[in-house]
Structure 1
Amino acid sequence: MQFDVVVLTDHRYVSPTKKTPYIENVLLEDRLVVEAMQNEGLTVGRKAWDDPDFDWSTTRFALFRTTWDYFDRFAEFSKWLEHASQQTQFINSKELIHWNIDKHYLQDLSKAGVTIPKTLFIEKDSSITLSEAVAKAQLEYGFASGSFILKPCVSGAARHTYKIGKDEIGKHESIFKELIAEEALMLQEFQHHIVSEGEISMMLFNGTFTHAVLKIAKAGDFRVQDDFGGTVHEYQPTEEQIAFAQTVVHAAPQLPMYARVDIFKDNDGNWALAELEIFEPELWFRLKPGAAGLLAKTIKNSCLMQQT
């Protein structure tokens, strides 16, 4: 069978036997996107990215949605990404995915004038210790907070994300040494407003704002992801916040077909970018199902119509 678009997920979400609330949300989000594209007259499939039996040349486009095991299987995923890109086109593009999958992209956006958290990037196999990295961040980057966030440059769902107080640095030296031997890391100044005020996620399709949510960490935690007990609330951003998000997507190497812009108020009281997600972001269609229809129209008009 030939498809216009295949929606990409991971194998855990293809035919799950145990449907937790988390998995139910995954299935609902994907279903809303599939049905929206079908309502536009498109032939749509849904496949795990690592499906060994699927011929990727049989779909004109592949849309990344819930491929949320990629960071645990990054070498395997990267090999598949290269192979599949020779057989079909990705939404967003392969070039954008390569740029966005590694959080070094924050450096590019910072150079383009986008405010980001104070960040020290530490490359794989560096001989620096965590204590030395903190000292460097304080001296060269002006870290003023007494706490720090350490996380990988390629990651998701808060994998290996640690909040470290200045009196806890020694206790994290061993895990830092293990991680830096395997992958590049980021050391960031802890952002107090994320805990007190939350993080705003704004969805934009072709640069146009559609909807937003406010993510709030549970009491006593710093991670806003619902995986860790955080809560998600509908949110109406200000014009200033929307304009900031639009500035961010237009600073990317290409304007993404779909994007999620996560922003927060930094320690200096300025709006800052936490992450620009244009690879496989959760888009909370379940809170605004009509937005799935907008994405479907965007894909049809911007991709498929241009090929006919």
Structure 2
Amino acid sequence: MVVWVLTEARYAYSPSKTSSLSRYVQNVLNEDFALVEALRACGLEADRKVWSDPSIDWSAADALVFRTTWDYFDRWDEFQHWLREVQKVTTLINPAACLHWNLDKHYLLDLEQAGIPVVPSVIHRRHEALSWDEASQGFASDDLVIKPTVSGATKDTYRVRRRQNAWHLAPAHPDSIEELWSSLLQRQDMMVQPFLPSVVANGELSLMWLGGTVTHAVKKQAKPGDFRVQDDHGGTVLPHDMTLEERAFAERAMHAAVKVMDRLNMGEPLYARVDMVRDLSGAWAVSELEMVEPELWFRMCPDAAGVLARAIAEHLNQPSA
């Protein structure tokens, strides 16, 4: 069977041409190549393709595995059209319905309704006639975070703090919060959340779910003076020895998500990442549950790529796949 691991044009390098690249890009490529090699070890004919390449006949693959397609939110209309078309001609991993559901952070409300603690989130629709003063009401804090419901790499994500009766943005922006909020809401659905001090003090945990089990975890910590934990914003990522409590919370979140997806006939994910933080009360809460193109940090758990590859091979060998 032919399986293609999907990336974006920025990372369209071969394994032999990585020595001159930045450490960040090298890590991206090593992650993708680790999965390609693991798939080949399972007897699959695996390769790596750029999702936006118009010359590719996607029906030539038995399955497409979404990995480093991290430009999709910058090309949202194009990506949505491509996704709708490609799901007609081949198998998507994760399943197409799962991808559509998880691409938009409205899914956090579904998890909350299923009883999973999530970071409190209020979502406002694109073009909604709503000032920032109105959007910021109803929170017990003057320290908030705004972000799009469809985004990645903290694009259009800001911490908004009121100090001395004035709102301050981080990262800094030339517009006022009223102007910025109005501009963002004209372009996309936006969400408002309370800022959680634990993100700066203790970081964010990410637990990887591969083939139906939690395999490993990492801890992401923001650089001093920032709240963004992503390594492309200067954050650090280290292996984390998860506790039984942490594992149990991630498993509970995933089992609830799978139940929601089963109820909506979406199919089940073969991979996911549970991002979790301490809320204002000190309890665990899901900040994101990524099932489209999460970084999975195979490099911090050498067996993880093989776990996912074997799950993919088993899935494709089922009669209904």
Residue in 2 that maps onto 1:255: 268
1:224 counterpart = 2:229: yes
1:116 aligns with 2:118: yes
CA-to-aligned-CA distance 1:34-67 (integer Å, 9 cap, x gap): 0001011110111000111111111010000000
Match for 2:98: what amino acid? L
Tell me the amino acid that sits aligned with residue 51 of structure 2.
W
- 2:302 is equivalent to residue 289 of structure 1: yes
1:174 maps to 179
Say how many residue pairs are matched: 300
1:100-120 per-residue CA deviation (whole Å, 9 max, x = no partner) reads: 000000000000001111211
Query: Unpaired runs of 5+ in structure 2?
Result: 169-174, 262-266
Partner of 2:176, secondary structure, is: helix
Partner of 1:7: 5
**Residue number in structure 2 paired with 1:146:** 142
Equivalent residue letter for 2:97: E
- Aligned residue in 2 for 1:38: 40
On the 8 A contact 1:6/1:63 being kept in 2, the answer is yes
Q: Is the 8 A contact 1:206 1:255 kept in 2?
A: no
144, 153, 157: which one aligns with 1:157: 153
Q: Is the 8 A contact 2:204 2:220 kept in 1?
A: yes
Aligned equivalents of 1:230 and 1:204: distance in 2?
Answer: 22
Q: Distance in 2 between matches of 1:25 and 1:55?
A: 28
Q: How much does 1:305 deviate?
A: 4.1
Native 8 Å contact 1:61 1:90 kept in 2: yes
Residue of structure 1 aligned with 2:290, choices 277, 285, 292: 277
Work out the CA distance in 2 between the residues paired with 1:229 and 1:50: 28
Rounded Cα–Cα distance in structure 2 between residues aligned with 1:207 and 1:144: 38
Letter in 1 for 2:242: P
Cross-structure match for 1:194: 199
Structure 2 CA distance for partners of 1:294 and 1:206, relative to 1, 3 Å: closer
Partners of 1:303 and 1:108 in 2: CA distance: 29
Correspondent of 2:313 among 267, 279, 300: 300
TM-score when normalising by structure 2: 0.90
Give runs of ≥4 in structure 1 deviating > 4 Å: none
Where 1:181 maps in the other structure, the secondary structure is helix
Q: Deviations over 1:48-102 (max 9, x none)?
A: 0011111111101000000010000000000000111111110000000000000
What is the aligned partner in structure 2 of residue 19 from structure 1?
21
* C-alpha separation in 2, matches of 1:98 and 1:147: 31
- Whole-angstrom distance in 2 between the partners of 1:110 and 1:184: 19
Match in the other structure for 2:208:
203
Match of 2:277 in 1: 264
Q: Distance in 1 between matches of 2:47 and 2:88?
A: 19
* SS of equivalent to 2:208: strand
Q: Distance in 2 between matches of 1:107 and 1:303?
A: 31
SS at match of 1:202: strand
- After superposition, what is the alpha-carbon deviation per residue over 1:224-277, rounded to whole angstroms, capped at 9, x for unaligned? 000111000100111111111111112221431100000011111110001000
- Determine the C-alpha separation between the residues in 1 that align with 2:126 and 2:9: 30
Aligned to 2:172: none
Equivalent position amino acid for 1:265 in 2? R
User: Which amino acid is 1:147 matched to?
Assistant: D
Q: Distance in 1 between matches of 2:317 and 2:92?
A: 12
Identical residues among aligned pairs (%): 44
| Separation of aligned partners in 2, 1:292 and 1:273 | 24
In the TM superposition, residue 303 of structure 1 has moved relative to its aligned partner by: 2.4
Q: Is the 8 A contact 2:126 2:190 kept in 1?
A: yes
